[in-house]
Structure 1
Amino acid sequence: MSRSPTWPRAALPVLLAAVLVLLVLPGRLAPGERPGQRTEEATAPAPVPLSRVPSGFFTGSDEEGVRRISGVEGWLGGGELRVGHTYLPGDRWSNIEGHPALFAPWAEWKAGRPGRLFVLNVPMMDRNEAGLTDAEVRAGLRRGAAGAFDAHFAALGERLVEHGLGDAVLVLGWEMNGTTYGHRCGPDPAAWKAYWRQVVGVLRGTEGQRFRFDFTPSRGRDAVPWPECYPGDDVVDIIGMDAYDQPEGVSFEEQVGEEYGLAHHVAFARAHGKPVSYPEWGLFRNGDNPAYVRGMLDWFAAHRPVYQTVTDYCPHGVWGCADNPRSAEVVRGALGAPARP
């Protein structure tokens, strides 16, 4: 989903989610499989309590967004959010390099309690939401793959480490299979993959870093099949998916089984030996939809993501959006603190 370039438990049986992943049927090529190669079918592990899935709410990128986290925790009745998630603005390279005004509040939040996880979406291109043409994107990707932008990513790595954020999860070039962003893959998948590899090499060269890199397409086919953009197991640590409740009239079960949907995602990750994540998810085209929310929460319990983050502003949210009261109650029941006897 678009981000403005400014400073920025469940009623469905968990068994349903485990069974639905078997929609990757025998006789079809598994995600990432080559002709003549047979990979293991994706089967879900035993479900875990949602309290064991690191969770967060995206409530804004700036210092005010950090402060809102305590408001969400209060709304959850004291349930702890262990994930802080924010975005670098992609308007200009100086902002992609990061600034103390953005990093300092998040560093303070992360240091406030052991076990907290900081997730940062990193654009791969300046003017990232400026409607770049395919030709402009293609040229930018090729320049990036050749190292033209290395200095910007080196500065970003150094600033993250300086702020104590050297173990961040970096969601690099997210939703690359769509058309929203200048860092999209479609105009030149080969150059996109080479550019990703170049950026990861630069950031891994930062002294003191322990970054993990999250490859995160949007759910479904979108403009290009997202497996065509996968840059390689050696430069990816987590395989994520941004999954909103859309298109209109499509059920959660259909979102699981669609081409390049939720089942495809976990099968692909399993075939590549990677854990999954869900950096963005929320309501969208189908209004206040508690069945969708229950389905997603059961999916997380079944597939144990590294983290999941609710996108919490209208129309997607449940805390900051009064339009979705039934879905909000499902989330509170799933992620809130257990009732005291």
Structure 2
Amino acid sequence: MSRSRVVSLLAVLLVVIVAVAATVYGLLGPSDSENTGSEPEPQAATTAAPADDRGARIGVFRSTSPEEVQAFGDWLGRDVDYVIDFSRRSSWDEIANPYDQLRAWQEHDYRIVYGLAMLPEDKNLKVSLAAGAEGKYNRHYRQLAENLVEYGQEDAILRLGWEFNLGTWRWHPGEREDFIGYWRQVVTTMRSVPGAEGLEFDWNPSNGGNRYDSTRFYPGDGFVDYVGVDVYDISWAKKTYPYPAECDADCRLARQKRAWQDTYNSKYGLKFWSQFAARHDKPVSLPEWGLWDRTLTDGHGGGDNPYFIQRMHEFIDDPVNNVAYQAYFQYDVGDSGNHLLSSMPDSQAVFLEHFG
């Protein structure tokens, strides 16, 4: 056989071997131990789809009342997933041992979201965020975590120091290092309790405003599970609320639309918080949202405002905002105002249409 023919046959054989090897490799892929010569491409994080097709999980605040929560779900025609509650907080004992709430929700399947105080409200107690940052109050939060595990609420979500950006709360921060250090002490302490590893923490400012920069007090991604925002239909922007005398339907709607723009587009409004959460790869939560009739106080609420319900639904339903859960504040706070849907029939009908 001539040398040129041998070379041709060898070339054909080599092509066949390469083709077979490529096919086998394509079917089996590289082994775990194989060195491919380059780092694997990073994979985009994926967010699990909600359990049903109605968007973010729905919750409600109806005080510490399983019966009222059940009634709300019956009216909606669907199960309520999350329950918002607050423990009493005058003393360290009430913060660490909220037995009324623990017992009330013990036998129910709701996921509980607790407003968790960072400091007792009793002004006779000398307490501070700075002392908390030194770990001096850790034992109280360890006790709370042990209680949550004992009462079957080891998956609770804790709104630690909720609405800290409002100056009315005792835990309204002054020094950045004190707030962040204290937050990290609490989270680390509670997660260290056996069985409490599933507790989640919701960093939860109140929406809106153009001056107070809450982001200065963000504790860090390793200590936060949700970026929560409390949102109510209130506004002090020009030509919003209160409604002027003899304001007809067109007048009211125009003011409601301007109020929504204030809620959504203000410097620290809903749009800002959605983008902030995305930058930190955190889901958004809306632990409190609702209408607000303030006619008995200052009039700076929209009252019966179906437009607000519609726009909130659009925000919640938009996957860009990655809203994990949301809870309507279904409560009449008396002199402070009324949020009850039953008191606002036009909005109630729109709420039932979108969320029922």
Alignment check: 8 A CA contact 2:158 2:199 kept? yes
1:168 lines up with 2:167 in the alignment: no
- Per the alignment, residue 317 of structure 1 pairs with 339
CA spacing shift, 1:153–1:47, aligned 2, 3 Å: closer
1:119 lines up with 2:141 in the alignment: no
1:304 lines up with 2:335 in the alignment: no
| In structure 1, C-alpha distance between the alignment counterparts of 2:265 and 2:51, rounded to whole Å | 22
| In structure 2, C-alpha distance between the alignment counterparts of 1:223 and 1:131, rounded to whole Å | 31
CA offsets 1:46-89 (integer angstroms, 9 cap, x no match) = 9998723111110003xxx221011112222x222111111122
1:328 lines up with 2:316 in the alignment: no
SS in structure 1 opposite 2:158?
Answer: strand
- Per the alignment, residue 66 of structure 1 pairs with 66
Alignment check: 8 A CA contact 1:54 1:308 kept? yes
Match of 1:188 among 165, 175, 180: 175
| In structure 2, C-alpha distance between the alignment counterparts of 1:119 and 1:317, rounded to whole Å | 19
Letter in 1 for 2:281: G
- Per the alignment, residue 268 of structure 1 pairs with 276
How far residue 316 of structure 1 moved from its aligned partner, in angstroms, is 4.6
SS in structure 2 opposite 1:307?
Answer: strand
Q: Which has the higher contact order (CA 8 A, sep 6+)?
A: 1
CA spacing shift, 1:85–1:259, aligned 2, 3 Å: same
SS in structure 2 opposite 1:286?
Answer: coil
Alignment check: 8 A CA contact 1:171 1:213 kept? yes
> What pairs with 1:188-207 in structure 2 (closer than 5 Å)?
188-207=175-194
- Per the alignment, residue 102 of structure 1 pairs with 101
1:179 lines up with 2:167 in the alignment: yes
- Per the alignment, residue 12 of structure 1 pairs with none
CA spacing shift, 1:304–1:153, aligned 2, 3 Å: same
Letter in 2 for 1:304: N
Q: Which runs of 5+ in 1 are unaligned?
A: 1-45, 111-115, 337-341
Aligned Cα root-mean-square deviation (Å):
2.3
CA spacing shift, 1:157–1:49, aligned 2, 3 Å: closer
How far residue 254 of structure 1 moved from its aligned partner, in angstroms, is 2.6
| In structure 1, C-alpha distance between the alignment counterparts of 2:269 and 2:69, rounded to whole Å | 30
Q: Which runs of 5+ in 2 are unaligned?
A: 1-48, 241-257, 293-300
CA offsets 1:277-332 (integer angstroms, 9 cap, x no match) = 0001111211111101111111000123111010111345344x42x111111111
- Per the alignment, residue 26 of structure 1 pairs with none
SS in structure 1 opposite 2:195?
Answer: coil
| In structure 1, C-alpha distance between the alignment counterparts of 2:50 and 2:305, rounded to whole Å | 23
CA spacing shift, 1:86–1:223, aligned 2, 3 Å: farther
Letter in 1 for 2:317: A
- Per the alignment, residue 240 of structure 1 pairs with 228
- Number of residue pairs the alignment of both structures matches: 273
SS in structure 2 opposite 1:51?
Answer: coil
Alignment check: 8 A CA contact 1:214 1:240 kept? yes
SS in structure 2 opposite 1:291?
Answer: helix
| In structure 2, C-alpha distance between the alignment counterparts of 1:255 and 1:122, rounded to whole Å | 25
> What pairs with 1:216-295 in structure 2 (closer than 5 Å)?
216-221=204-209, 224-248=212-236, 249=240, 250-284=258-292, 285-295=301-311
TM-score (norm 1): 0.75
Letter in 2 for 1:270: A
- Structure 1 runs, 4 residues or longer, greater than 3 Å off: 46-50
Q: Which moved more, 1:92-101 or 1:170-179?
A: 92-101
SS in structure 2 opposite 1:288?
Answer: coil
| In structure 1, C-alpha distance between the alignment counterparts of 2:285 and 2:137, rounded to whole Å | 27
Q: Which moved more, 1:218-227 or 1:158-167?
A: 218-227
| In structure 2, C-alpha distance between the alignment counterparts of 1:117 and 1:47, rounded to whole Å | 15
